[in-house]
Amino acid sequence: MAGGRRGPNRTSYCRNPLCEAGAAGGSGHSNTSSVTGVRSRTRSGPGTGLSSPPLAAQTVLPLRHSKIPELPLERSLLFELQLFFCHLIALFVHYINIYKTVWWYPPSHPPSHTSLNFHLIDFNVLTLTTIVLARRLIGAIVKEASQSGKVSLPHSVFLVVTRFAILTGTGWSLCRSVIHLFRTYSFLNLLFLCYPFGMYIPFLQLNCDLKKSSLFSHVSTIGPRDTEVSTSRGKDYLTVLLETWRQHTRQIYGAEAMPTHACCLSPDLIRNEVEYLKVDFNWRMKEVLLSAMLSAYYVAFVPIWFLKNTQYYDKRWSCELFLLVSVSTSVILMQHLLPARYCDLLHKAAAHLGCWQKVDPSLCSNVLQHSWTEECMWPQGVLVKHNKNVYKAVGHYNVAVPSDVSHFRFHFFFSKPLRLWNILILLEGALIFYQLYSLVCSGKWHHTISLALILFSNYYSFFKLLRDRLVLGKAYAYTANRDSEQKLN
């Protein structure tokens, strides 16, 4: 009978090293880990050339990861200083657009002797905005001054004095500004200042992400991050806020402390590592989005909210500045929190995870199919059944759950090691092109000054992105060419 059995021989498709069930699961699937040798019969129609040979005939070579050079990384203190300087420039140009004057009029009856109406500026709002924009820099300085180690007595005294001066000066300035704002403005205006912080915990979704903390016990050797935060529901808002802030500061200033990757052939450990990296990557992306939106909010919207009713401001420019600051801050933070070593780690994990492509069951009804099991490491090109659907293995190794969309997304974004860098370069390049176009079309002096100053920070970020992209591209291309030559030989 065509397509039927051709003999009594039975070949096991879950043999080592493709399937390592371990001590506990090695015998639990002995009945399902063997299939009859089948000669695949495919249909003759177009697009139906699917084939799935027995796994015993598959030979999977171990993965060989690329070695990337050690690219220079900025220290947290220097990076926070650079980011704060960029935010100050954006705030300065916004104040120029709001409080500009026509000081170039004839000197007989000048409307103003200065380029800005300084008497209209509320310096309490300016002080509060500056402190909020400098929160990351203040935290980095305090962290740098609080590091324990063997230091001399004068150095220790200097660190204590520095930490005390920074915290005292910041606290005194913040309290003074808030007291004056309470005396001057209504309670509704003050709520407008606190609105981003009210969305802090819902945006980070603390409880949703930390419910996955049970998997950290299985991958405790993967990364050095602290995962001792509890997820009990009986806590009050203040306790949750403190725990969120503690975890948040670890994400901000723990860019140097990255997880590590250990190549293994255990499907369960690979999936646990991917789950850990997904949580870590989501924390970093939430930090990027939160910091970008918060900085753009205080740069673009807070100064115009406290204007008098008789003052005019350009609404279109304020919205444009909000977009420019949010996109620029996002790119700068992603470049810092997702360095080359971290992106290479995600690529390695995605290569071990693999991916499945859903196929039409009618196209492979006469092709050898296997029942998917979580203990097996499936080779490329194999067809499996999972949840009444048929999937084809796409990656070199495939231990992902076929129906898990998060595994598919993880492999899609990080299977190509340079995909994230290309996205950032395109985003930063489009932003610079738009600013150059606006600069050419601008006919107002304050818009010209604003765009020219903001462009400098974007030029520096684009230079670092392009430099890292060229270096990593050559490193990955060298490894790919070497592997292709070895296959030909």
Taking only the tens of pLDDT, the chain with its 489 residues reads 444 444 444 333 334 445 543 333 333 343 333 333 333 333 434 444 455 555 544 555 566 777 888 887 888 889 999 999 999 999 999 998 888 876 666 666 555 667 778 888 889 999 999 999 999 999 888 888 877 666 777 888 888 888 899 999 999 999 999 999 989 888 888 888 877 776 666 665 544 444 444 444 334 343 333 333 333 334 454 454 455 445 555 544 444 456 666 666 678 888 888 888 888 898 888 889 888 989 999 999 899 888 887 777 888 888 899 999 999 999 999 999 998 888 888 988 888 888 888 888 777 777 777 888 888 888 888 888 888 888 888 887 788 888 888 888 998 989 888 899 999 999 999 999 999 999 888 888 888 888 888 898 899 899 999 999 999 888 888 877 776 666 666
Neighbour count for residue 127 (Cβ, 10 Å): 17
Q: Enumerate the H helices of 113-253 as residue ranges.
A: 123-133, 135-145, 153-184, 187-198, 200-204, 206-210, 237-253
CB 347 within 8 A of CB 421: no
Q: Which pLDDT belongs to residue 119?
A: 83
CA distances from residue 114 to 136, 201, 275, 319, 447 in whole angstroms, order as listed? 33, 44, 58, 27, 18
Kind of pairing, strands 370-371 and 356-359? unpaired
The Cα–Cα gap between 398 and 395 comes to: 6
Q: What type of residue sits at position 243?
A: E
Q: Is the dihedral of CA 122, 123, 129, 133 positive or negative?
A: positive
Closest CA to 322 of 336, 301, 338: 301
How many Cα atoms within 13 Å fall on the side-chain side of residue 144?
A: 15
Closest CA to 181 of 166, 169, 191: 191
pTM: 0.75
Q: Which pLDDT belongs to residue 131?
A: 93
Q: Which pLDDT belongs to residue 489?
A: 62
Return the residue matching tokens 């903390």.
213
For residues 89-112, b (16+ Cβ closer than 10 Å) or e, as one string? bbbebbbbbbbbeeeeeeeeeeee
For 21, phi and psi rounded to 5 degrees? Answer: -75, -20
pLDDT one-digit tens code per residue, 465-482: 999 999 988 888 887 777
Return the residue matching tokens 């150095």.
155
CB 384 within 8 A of CB 55: no
How many Cα atoms within 13 Å fall on the side-chain side of residue 383?
A: 20
The Cα–Cα gap between 88 and 77 comes to: 16
